[in-house]
Amino acid sequence: MDSKIEEMKDRAARAVEDSGAKDDLEALRADLKALRADVTHLMGSLKGAASSASKEIAAGLAGTKEQLGGQIKETLNSVKDKGGELTQGLEHQVQERPLMSVLVAFGLGLVLSRLLERR
């Protein structure tokens, strides 16, 4: 039985050699090897491109962060200044008209208490 298997293998090998398929197979192997090398090179190029793109995006985001941080600080300082001005104006009015200020505060308290009672 082993001899028949060996004989069949020999026949198959001769048939492959006679048909020229061996050369085609070797050419196919060489092409696959070249394809693997090309895919490896392409993957490296894609990795480099993705890395540089992500670095550009990160740099852009860092710049935007700095810009927004500066705008927020400016806005907060502006609000703080306005609040200080309003507080000083209110203090000035209370000092000029203390009785009127007490009556206005009493009236507002009364209105608010009535509104809260309804709920």
Domain coordinates in residue numbering, the chain: 2-85
Give the residues of the chain that fall short of pLDDT 50.
Answer: none
Q: Which amino acid does the sequence have at 48?
A: G
Instruction: Please count the residues of the chain.
Output: 119
pTM assigned to the model: 0.42
- Give the per-residue pLDDT at 16: 66
Rounded distance between C-alpha atoms, residue 72 and residue 32, angstroms? 59
* 20 three-class SS: coil
* 26 three-class SS: helix
Q: What is the pLDDT of residues 95-105, one digit of tens each?
A: 898 888 889 99
- Match 């392409």 to its residue by tokens: 42
* 111-115 contacts at long range (C-beta below 8 A, 24 or more positions apart): none
- Give the per-residue pLDDT at 8: 80
Q: Are 101 and 94 in contact (CB under 8 A)?
A: yes
Alpha helices in the chain (DSSP H): 2-19, 21-96, 98-118
